[in-house]
Structure 1
Amino acid sequence: MSSTWSGWLPPESLAVLAAATWATASLFSAAASARMGAFAFTRWRMVFAAVLLWGMALATGSWRSLEGGGLGAGPGVAGAVAWDAVGLLVLSGVIGIFVGDTALFACMNRLGPRRSGLLFATHSLFTVVLAALFLDESLKGCALPGGVLLVGGVMGAIAFGKRGGVAHPLESTQGQLAVGVALGVLSALGQSVGTLVLKPAMAAGLDPVAASAVRMTAGFACHALLWCAGLPMARVQSPLQWRDLAYTFASATLAMAVGMTLILKALQHGSAGLVGMLSSVSPVLLLPLLWWRTGQRPAWGAWVGAAMAVLGCALLLG
């Protein structure tokens, strides 16, 4: 592993930091995604993120971690690509980024950041269950009640975060509610499966920046195919504005170049289920940001849920 990554925080702390970047990035994302459309927004976001990540990988030489003899085989022939590891990264990019991210922003366009965040937070539950089934991971000791408190707190904070009788464009429903809910659940499942697919590749020692670059490129390739095929939903839905591109770049930098790289680093040494649960605190971290953005103070239920989530985090980190 490159010395670039020496001195990193524990995997649990990295997952919480990633959640913070996702929460902050959602403020840049909501308006731009609504104007551009979910497909166009995620396509541009992947372009920006891929350029940033490949630039960093080439500048630091971290792309060389993609060379080797394959998963668990140790160092391979110089210049030879570890295709099995790259294959997992591509699969994770298609599921977690192309499917998961696109569904998330389609959900956000219909339900707003708060309710889409609630649905996306269910990825922690999917991750814990799937990690137990396929990676033989389980929560032990204080981690189990901590996980229950964390997930319950996140759900409660978002579900009861809106004050009654207060309306804001970010809280409105566009289109059918059932479609928005289905998209939110799909985004959570995509994030969960994409994370689990990554675990063996990251445990083999791949550099997080290089791995993120491959995933981002795979996700963009799928979007590019849809755009080249001329699908109406893949087109920009309104005239492209520089302001929207600036917001998209900020979102790509925070959520994808920084946030997803932190998650991949956390997966190298941390439990997939634990990383998934801690990264799900993003909606709780979003509450004060939405308060600042909309001027509407969250309801009392949000504070109770946030307190539960903090206590759950303390038990998991302890």
Structure 2
Amino acid sequence: MQYLGEICALLTACCWSGSALAFSAAALRVGSVRLNVTRLLVAAVLLFAVVLLAGFEPHLSTSQLRNLVISGIVGLVIGDTFLFKAYESVGARTGMLIMSAAPAMSALLAYLLLGEILGSMGFIGMAVTLFGIALVVLEQRASSSVQPGSYSKGIMYAFIAAAGQAGGLVLAKMAFNEGPVNGFVATLIRIVSAIIVIFPIARLAGEYNDVLALYLRDRKALSLTFLGAFLGPFLGITLSLISVSYTSVGISATLMATVPILMLPIVHFVLKEQVSWRAIIGAVVAVAGVAVLFLR
């Protein structure tokens, strides 16, 4: 199908916009670690059912499996845990705007680790993206009702999340470069790997006790978690992996990076938040920087 990769990338951006808002609300109710573990468990069940019913087989080399496992740990355990912590402090819109730095970080990692050519336009694209992020972050810091220390931590968490997603994407791309991998199978491997790591850690740390009772008391948190899990780690991540397998990483990453722009009308019309012109310009500039970086 023509433009399948591009269509999947745009659908990914739509899914991530919806999941970001759902997870942001859920994180405030149940906490970032509980949310991350639960949504991974939900997504794993959904993906396992799809893989089983469709009869997808994991024809993977040892190195492909290794890269997908590490990708899941870096992107879904480290990256997403810090993203949900960022949501608690600065909200979904700012958190996802900072996540637009992930493609730039991916390109830099590919340049440093894989020897991919970046060039002067690549560095210009990174600078433009960071400038767009700074426009919004500095404005919101001045007007935010959140304590300055908490806001700064939220921004730091979001940048750590972006780095985690970047590392996870590069590792997943390395697996796809070796040979064809089914998107649902790859996503299931990443998620199961993440669960194997994060679940025992969360239990030992006392961060995942009495979760069932908590969710039964708060049905809204349960519905938000399920909605976010379906749109994000189940549908969104799968579409993103399908996208990078059918089109270039540059085009895919650029289209997926439109999340900050897609979220603006949602937060304005659905959540009734005021969106300043500076926020709009900053989001557009950040995405434009991603376009310069990858479409040069």
TM-score, with length taken from structure 1: 0.79
**Deviation of residue 178 (structure 1)?**
3.4
1:104 Cα offset (Å): 0.4
Indicate if the aligned counterparts of 1:202 and 1:208 stay in contact, CA closer than 8 A: no
CA distance in 2, matches of 1:291, 1:10: 30
Q: Could you report, residue by residue, the CA deviation over 1:60-113 in whole angstroms, capped at 9, with x for unpaired residues? A: 112x1x225x2xxxxxxxxxxxx3222211111111001111110011112211
1:297 and 1:177 map into 2 onto residues whose CA distance is 19
One-letter amino acid of the structure 2 residue matched with residue 295 of structure 1: K
**Among 150, 163, 167, which residue is 1:189 paired with?**
163
Contact 2:51 2:184 (8 Å CA) reproduced: yes
Match of 1:92 in 2: 71
Check whether the contact 1:154–1:283 (CA below 8 A) recurs between aligned residues.
Answer: no
Structure 2: where are the runs of 5+ without partners?
Answer: none
CA distance in 2, matches of 1:306, 1:220: 33
Kept in 2: contact 1:192–1:276 (CA 8 A): no
| Letter aligned with residue 21 of structure 2 | L
- Provide the rounded CA distance (Å) in 2 between the counterparts of 1:220 and 1:127: 24
Q: Which residue of structure 1 lines up, in the alignment, with residue 43 of structure 2?
A: 49
Measured after TM superposition, the shift of residue 12 of structure 1 is 4.0
Letter in 1 for 2:193: A
Q: Give the distance between the partners of 1:164 and 1:177, measured in 2 at CA.
A: 10
Residues 47 and 173 (structure 1 numbering): CA distance in 2 closer, same or farther, change over 3 Å? farther
| CA pair 163-195 structure 1, distance change in 2 beyond 3 A | closer
Among all aligned residue pairs of Structure 1 and Structure 2, give the percentage whose two residues are the same amino acid. Answer: 25
SS in 1 for 2:190: helix
1:74 matched residue in structure 2: none
2:257 alignment partner in structure 1: 280
Q: Which residue pairs with 1:76 in the alignment?
A: none
- What whole-Å deviation, never above 9, does each CA across 1:214-260 have from its counterpart, x for those lacking one? 1111111222112332x133446893222211111110111111111
Corresponding position of 1:159? 137
Q: Which stretch of structure 1 is more off in the superposition, 254-263 or 289-298?
A: 289-298
Aligned position for 2:10: 16
Q: How far 1:274 sits from its partner (Å)?
A: 4.7
Q: Corresponding residue for 2:180?
A: 205
Number of aligned residue pairs: give it: 291
Q: 1:34 aligns with which of 28, 39, 47?
A: 28
- The one-letter amino acid paired with 1:219 is A
Task: Identify if the C-alpha distance between structure 1 residues 19 and 216 changes in structure 2 by more than 3 Å, giving closer, same or farther.
Answer: same
Which string of whole-angstrom CA distances, capped at 9 and with x for unpartnered residues, describes residues 90-138 of structure 1? 1111110011111100111122112222332221221111122233434
- Rounded to whole Å, the distance in 1 between the matches of 2:246 and 2:17 is 24
Q: Is the 8 A contact 1:146 1:313 kept in 2?
A: no
**Quick one: distance in 2 between partners of 1:9 and 1:286?**
24
3-state SS, counterpart of residue 207 of structure 2: helix
Name the residue aligned to 2:270: 293
Question: Which runs of structure 2 are paired with 1:296-307 in the superposition (5 Å)?
Answer: 296-307=273-284
What CA distance in whole angstroms lies between the structure 2 residues aligned with 1:156 and 1:180? 14
Matched to 2:175, the amino acid is A
CA contact 1:150–1:277 (8 Å) conserved in 2: no
Between Structure 1 and Structure 2, the one with more helix by share is: 2
On the 8 A contact 1:111/1:173 being kept in 2, the answer is no
How far, CA to CA, are the matches of 2:199 and 2:77 in structure 1?
Answer: 11
Unmatched 5+ residue regions in structure 1?
A: 1-6, 71-82
